[in-house]
């Protein structure tokens, strides 16, 4: 089985994440794309993030209509910080024989040397990298470049728009927008 891994804070998950997952699925001939919300985000220590149950619920809603997408609780259920190397080790154990592709944005790829055990990550997975905002990714083999369309959506912008009472329609799936409103996430104003 060819398995794509798309991890992130997903605070909130948005159409850019879903498009990246679908582009990777198609270009890399993946059988499944696992969306894995982080549990304890060590790279954003001290930064306020939405509780995991909300981020998981939004991710589940976002992926439910694509049979090739799956939401994984692997990092949320594991105590302590979420390290990609540990996640990949667990996946290789859970799904023996799977060929794993780790799907990354260009910014995450550039930051990879600062992650915990980056050499182990490269041993366990092929890196599939999508450039964003016109960035031209310089990739070290065997990383693969994904031809990602320019989307220009960020979770930060979505949170800011919600807090300001502005629309997020067409930035997130309708089910995620409804969830944000129903649960009053991101300092929602104007109901």
Write the DSSP assignment of 6-46 as a string of letters.
EEE--TT--HHHHHHHHHHHHHTT-SEEEEEE-SB-GGGTT
For residue 144 the two structure tokens come to 């693969």
Find the CATH number of the domain harbouring 45: 3.40.50.620
User: Cα separation of 63 and 36, whole Å?
Assistant: 11
For residue 118 the two structure tokens come to 């980056």
Residue 11, C-beta contacts closer than 8 angstroms, at least 6 positions apart: 49, 50, 55, 155, 159
User: Cα separation of 131 and 168, whole Å?
Assistant: 23
User: Cα separation of 19 and 114, whole Å?
Assistant: 27
Total domains present in the chain: 1
Could you report the per-residue pLDDT of 30-84, keeping only the tens digit for each?
Answer: 999 999 999 877 665 567 899 999 999 999 999 999 999 999 999 999 998 889 9
Residue 121's domain spans which residues?
2-150
Residue 45: predicted pLDDT: 58
Q: Note whether residue 63 is domain-resident.
A: yes
Global pTM value: 0.91
Q: Note whether residue 141 is domain-resident.
A: yes
Q: Note whether residue 170 is domain-resident.
A: no
Residue 42: predicted pLDDT: 65
Q: Note whether residue 20 is domain-resident.
A: yes
In whole angstroms, how large is the CA radius of gyration of the chain? 16
Helix (H, G, I), strand (E, B) or coil at 182: helix
Contact 153, 143 (CB under 8 A): no
Q: Note whether residue 103 is domain-resident.
A: yes
Q: Note whether residue 31 is domain-resident.
A: yes
Region 88-98: mean pLDDT is 95
Does position 163 have pLDDT exceeding 90, yes or no?
yes
User: Cα separation of 133 and 124, whole Å?
Assistant: 28
């Amino acid at each position: 089985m060819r398995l794509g891994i798309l991890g992130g804070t997903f605070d909130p998950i948005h159409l850019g994440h879903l498009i990246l997952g679908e582009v990777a699925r198609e270009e890399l001939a993946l059988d499944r794309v696992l969306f894995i919300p982080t549990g304890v985000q060590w790279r954003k220590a001290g930064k306020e993030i939405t509780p995991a149950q909300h981020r998981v619920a939004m991710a589940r809603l976002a992926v439910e209509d694509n049979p090739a997408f799956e939401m994984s609780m692997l990092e949320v259920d594991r105590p302590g910080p979420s390290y990609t190397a540990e996640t990949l080790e667990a996946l290789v154990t859970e799904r023996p024989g799977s060929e794993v592709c780790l799907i990354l944005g260009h910014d995450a790829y550039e930051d990879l040397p600062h992650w915990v055990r980056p050499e182990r990550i490269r041993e366990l997975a092929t890196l599939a990298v999508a450039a964003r905002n016109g960035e031209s990714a310089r990739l070290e083999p065997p990383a693969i470049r994904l031809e990602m369309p320019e989307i220009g959506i960020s979770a930060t912008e979505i949170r800011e728009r919600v807090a300001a009472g502005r629309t997020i329609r067409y930035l997130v799936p309708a089910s995620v927008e409804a969830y944000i409103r129903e649960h009053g996430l991101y300092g929602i104003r104007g109901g």
